[in-house]
Amino acid sequence: MSFSRRHFIASTSGAAAGIALPFHVFGQGATIKLGSVLDNSGNLDAYGKPMVQATTMAAEEINAAGGLLGRKIQVVQYDTQSDIALYTKYAQQLARDDKVDVVHGGITSASREAIRQTFRRANVLYFYNVLYEGGVCDRNCIVTGTTPAQVMEPIVEIASKQWGKKVYVLAADYNYGQITAKWLAHYAKLRGGTVLQTDFFPLDVADFGSTIAKIQAAKPEYVCAALVGGAHLSFFRQWAASGMNKKIPLCSTTFGVGNEHLALSPAEGDGILIAGNYSQEDPSPANKDFLARWAKRFGDTKIVHEIAVSQYQGIKLWAEAVKKAGSLDREKLLKVIESGISVEGPGGLVKIDPATHHASLDIKVMEVKNQKLTIKQTFKQRPPSDTAASCNLAKNPNENKQFEVTI
């Protein structure tokens, strides 16, 4: 998924570029090097900083519990500054010079595709822990973020029952928005619904006045927005300012993933229906414990968002694979991963689908209330069905492409 900077999230503490945990040796083994490339500064730092913190916390917890294979983890973290050229540079440095054992990194799809082949050629296992448009089919790449099919069906299920069958769709004008809009139309049709119109917007569009007028004229029973970035956040403010939030309800597949609900006042944000893997309001013991540990380590928990949690869960999943394999050998790790390995995280059970190397996830449909994401219903273990329609690594282990998901 592509993002633009959100200026509304306060800068975080304890997340510095070039992080390397203290070098200690357990027994005779050197440290295990965990590489990461994330935007700790630049236009995407509101997303990258919490992910850097999540990386640090996961590694510290693993070390505190005795490390892996009798060895400690050393995090080698480079700040890519929201610059694709730096992603390419640091990926090569991690693989060639630092000789890392695994990489957890990348935020946008463009950043993932800039580094994925580097790690594949170097036989360095790569985890991409961010929601995206789906379709990546690469045995060396493990994905723990959501894909559109995982979140769209639950949100359409609730919206159609709660509000009606006629929907107006707004989406970002690139692959994530276009593919998400197709899945929304697909699931609406399965429930006897109709998409009255779909409008796509470049990421720099911030004036939605004419669009709001078109929606008023179309008279949908609800609006669903797959909008992305700081400019697109303007839609939700303008929608509320026009008074339409009191007349036509909203749902979104992206709102909240970067803590957008903290940027809007309750008057602007209350009532928006969203879906994803994580909410800070989840009452599960695993989430409460996670937030308590985060608060103890970093202080402010408000900055914890879904992709920070996905990063944390991805690292814990890799650590579990290392334990089960008893080795850092890539082939041995892949065999364990392809056994359907799972871990319980703050967002629920994360279980790898062997055929796609994507995670089946618990998806929460949530409502924004007073700047919080209140869970209405949880859909357990939603599979990555969109990617599974094209990708079968069990049959084609040498596949190496991103399929364009068709519906």
Confidence tier at 19 by pLDDT (50, 70, 90): very low
**Element (DSSP H or E) covering residue 342:** strand 342-345
- How far apart CA 282 and CA 241 sit, in angstroms, is 30
- How far apart CA 206 and CA 227 sit, in angstroms, is 11
Question: Structure tokens of 209?
Answer: 């006045």
Question: Structure tokens of 358?
Answer: 């994507």
Confidence tier at 29 by pLDDT (50, 70, 90): low
Statement: residue 106 has pLDDT above 80: yes
Per the CB < 8 A criterion, the answer to whether 208 and 225 are in contact is no
Q: Is the dihedral of CA 323, 357, 315, 380 positive or negative?
A: negative
The DSSP code sequence of 105-164 is ---SHHHHHHHHHHHHHTT-EEEE-S-----EEETTEEE-S--HHHHHHHHHHHHHHHT-
Confidence tier at 261 by pLDDT (50, 70, 90): confident
233-266 burial by CB neighbour count: b if 16+ within 10 A, else e?
bebbbbbbebebbeebbbbbbbbbbbbbbbbbee
CATH 3.40.50.2300 for domain 148-276, yes or no, is: yes
The region of weakest confidence among 116-120, 201-205, 329-333 is 201-205
The bridge status of strand 273-276 relative to strand 102-104 is unpaired
pLDDT recorded at residue 16: 38
Mean pLDDT across 377-397: 95
Where do we find the tokens 């909203």? Answer: 250
For 263-268, the CB contacts below 8 A with 24+ separation are 263/6, 263/8, 263/9, 263/233, 264/233, 264/236, 264/237, 264/240, 264/368, 264/371, 265/371, 266/369, 266/370, 266/371, 267/240, 268/236, 268/237, 268/240
Question: Structure tokens of 75?
Answer: 């995090």
Confidence tier at 13 by pLDDT (50, 70, 90): very low
Statement: residue 21 has pLDDT above 50: no
62-86 burial by CB neighbour count: b if 16+ within 10 A, else e?
bbeeebbeebbbbbbbbbbbbbeeb
- How far apart CA 393 and CA 370 sit, in angstroms, is 44
- How far apart CA 235 and CA 186 sit, in angstroms, is 24
Ranges of CATH 3.40.50.2300 domains, the chain: 32-146+282-362+381-402, 148-276
Statement: residue 18 has pLDDT above 50: no
Helix, strand or coil, per DSSP, at residue 202: coil
The region of weakest confidence among 18-27, 167-176, 193-202 is 18-27
Confidence tier at 14 by pLDDT (50, 70, 90): very low
Predicted confidence (pLDDT) per residue in 329-380, tens digit: 999 999 999 999 999 999 999 999 999 999 999 999 999 999 899 999 999 9
- How far apart CA 134 and CA 150 sit, in angstroms, is 10
The DSSP code sequence of 221-285 is SEEEEE--STTTHHHHHHHHHTTGGGTS-EEESSTTTT-GGGTS-HHHHTT-EEEES--TT---H
Question: Structure tokens of 261?
Answer: 């609900």
Mean pLDDT across 118-143: 96
- Tell me the pTM: 0.87
CATH annotation of 32-146+282-362+381-402: 3.40.50.2300
Statement: residue 220 has pLDDT above 60: yes
Number of neighbouring beta carbons within 10 Å of residue 285: 9
Q: What is the mean pLDDT of the chain?
A: 90
281: left (phi over 0), alpha (psi -120 to 50) or beta: alpha
Helix, strand or coil, per DSSP, at residue 99: coil
Of the candidates 407, 346, 338, 352, the residue with the CA atom closest to the CA atom of residue 384: 352
pLDDT recorded at residue 260: 84
Per the CB < 8 A criterion, the answer to whether 226 and 251 are in contact is no
Statement: residue 22 has pLDDT above 70: no
Confidence tier at 212 by pLDDT (50, 70, 90): very high
Per the CB < 8 A criterion, the answer to whether 225 and 199 are in contact is no
Mean pLDDT across 220-235: 89
The alpha carbon of residue 304 and the mean position of all alpha carbons in its chain are separated, in whole angstroms, by 12
Per the CB < 8 A criterion, the answer to whether 152 and 130 are in contact is no
Question: Structure tokens of 316?
Answer: 């814990």
Mean pLDDT across 208-229: 94
pLDDT recorded at residue 204: 86
For 326-334, the CB contacts below 8 A with 24+ separation are 326/69, 327/69, 328/32, 328/69, 328/101, 328/102, 330/123, 330/124, 330/125, 330/140, 333/125, 334/125, 334/139
- How far apart CA 115 and CA 89 sit, in angstroms, is 9
pLDDT recorded at residue 176: 81
